[in-house]
A and B are shown apart, each in its own frame.
Chain A
């Protein structure tokens, strides 16, 4: 049976992991390769590396760390951040990444999704969506440039409409980051994920809000997502992947032990 995926996300700047990281009480700050390796060995099903500066400051980013990760990692990994062209994506895939994820550049130029699909196949093309619940309008709205607070802005898109658009253009997977929940560890946004699940015919990954192990059970059971992405609970050692997997298996979720 196909397993639900647990996906730690690492924020990268200039080839270093930028958040303070604590992993099994060994504090590791900065070095991306051993950290990636530890997550793989601990049972992560996939990794996402998010170059947090790339989209928002417009410079050419050195991605040679992708090759160093590919050398040591034996699980799939995805690279996000700053991929604006077929050439950008091609370089990253050629260095050994399995997928590339696009967010703000796809909002700026949606044809990018078609081009990526055509050149590399649907399975490589992940679209990340930053969605914010606006209390006044009662609607979920898509934001861009969320890597840099000063440039973050609302787009013309409602989340459901943008999901339908990226699917029609050939996205192979969607990572839905629910911004209201991000970093507050109060649980995934089940209501929004369910509403997107209804229209999402490709794998859907939940992002934003994981704080306890129960939150993972809830999102798999109630929103039927294919994977759950989290950062701080793993980095800060609040949740250990092995313990989380044991709980999810006990709860009857299909998980790779």
Chain B
């Protein structure tokens, strides 16, 4: 299993690397298109703003590479938001691998950022969601979100519903931080490792 974590220069790369290490997988952290294309699976991490992250992917000339991957690709947190068509956080076009738009959260007056442990709902039977149920808590930290759509694999509720996990073809993303969500988070990463297209 050759897993490559795309080196976006974001802060949570070590955490993601260690999370896979705990599952017995020694990932490669790289921004080389050749290495990313050759991987069995690709992980796109992300912390920070969509604008900065897209600029970094552009600088590293990775946009085309990520858009043309055929193997499983998982985005985490900001990395998940980058998979959609557009983000209002900095009004920036994203990778457009999964239809959707990143908008400011409609939290109905609840405090932002949405920070802490929250539960999932409307969990699909997609391979990534195997073993999950509505009493599982995941760790979220964000102020922008992707709306519920036909590409949602699970939702979360904070003032209003938003997509907690999205997926289309070989591409999927999680709004929460599986690397920081205890055993339930590890289950998502394990499901990703076992995901067969």
Contacts and interface: CB of A to CB of B under 8 A. Distances in A.
Interface string A160-179: 00000000000011000000
A229 B177 CA distance: 22
A173 B116 CA distance: 11
Interface residues of A, number: 34
Interface string A192-212: 000000000111000000000
B162 interface: no
A123 B137 CA distance: 19
A121 B50 CA distance: 11
A5 B12 CA distance: 21
Interface in B115-129: 115-119
Interface residues of B, number: 38
A15 interface: no
A51 interface: no
Given A40-B182, A121-B48, A74 B115 contact: no
Given A123-B141, A172-B113, A202-B113, A76 B18 contact: no
B196 interface: no
Given A74-B186, A123-B142, A5 B116 contact: yes
B99 to A, nearest CB: 26
B122 to A, nearest CB: 15
Contacts of A98: 12, 15, 141, 177, 180
B60 interface: no
A74 B183 contact: yes
Contacts of B11: 90, 93-94, 120, 124
Given A67-B14, A256-B137, A74 B118 contact: no
Given A74-B179, A95-B14, A98-B15, A121 B49 contact: yes
Contacts of B18: 70-72, 96
A124 B143 contact: no
A71 B21 contact: yes
Contacts of A120: 11, 47-48
Interface string A233-257: 0000000000000000000000011
9 closest A-B pairs by beta carbon, nearest first, are A96-B14, A93-B11, A256-B137, A3-B117, A123-B141, A256-B117, A76-B180, A96-B15, A2-B118
Interface of A: 1-5, 40, 45, 67, 70-72, 74-76, 90, 93-96, 98, 120-124, 172-173, 201-203, 226-227, 256-257
7 contacts: A3-B116, A70-B14, A71-B18, A74-B181, A98-B12, A122-B113, A123-B115
